[in-house]
Amino acid sequence: MVNRETILIIDFGSQYTQLIARRVREANVYCEIHSHKISIDEIKKINPIGIVLSGGPMSVYDPDSPDIKIEILDLNKPVLGICYGLQLLCKNLGGKVESAKDREYGKAELSIEGNSLLFDEVRNDSIVWMSHGDYLTDLPKGFEVIGTSQHSPICAIENINKKIYGVQFHPEVVHTNEGKRIIKNFLFKICNAHGEWTAENFIEDSKKRIRSIVGDKKVICALSGGVDSTVAAVLVEHAIGDQLICVHIDNGLMRKNESKSVEKLFNERFHIPLIHIDASEIFLTRLKNIVDPEEKRKIIGNTFIEVFEKEAKKIVGAEYLVQGTLYPDVIESVSVKGSSATIKTHHNVGGLPEKMNLKLIEPFRELFKDEVRNVGRSLNIPNDFIDRHPFPGPGLAVRIIGDVTIEKLDLLRDADEIFISEIKKAHVYNDIWQAFSVLLPIQTVGVMGDARTYENVLALRAVTSVDGMTADWYRFDTDVLAKISNIIINKVRGINRVVYDISSKPPSTIEWE
Catalytically annotated residues: 83, 170, 172
How many C-beta atoms surround the C-beta of residue 390 within 10 A?
16
79: left (phi over 0), alpha (psi -120 to 50) or beta: beta
Q: Say how far residue 473 (Cα) sits from the centre of its chain.
A: 17
Q: Where are the alpha helices (DSSP H) in 265-405?
A: 280-286, 293-312, 327-333, 352-356, 369-378, 383-386
Strand ranges, E, within 323-433:
359-361
**If residue 200 lies in a helix (H) or strand (E), which one and from where to where?**
helix 199-214
- Cα 498 from Cα 411, distance rounded (Å): 13
- Cα 263 from Cα 130, distance rounded (Å): 50
- Cα 191 from Cα 7, distance rounded (Å): 9
Rg (CA), the chain: 25
Residue type at position 507: P
Q: Which residues pair with 204 in a beta bridge?
A: none
Q: Which sign does the torsion angle of CA 84, 94, 141, 72 carry?
A: negative
- Three-state SS at 25: helix
What angle, rounded to 10 degrees, do the helices at 199-214 and 369-378 form?
80
- Three-state SS at 134: strand
Nearest to 261 by CA among 363, 388, 390: 388
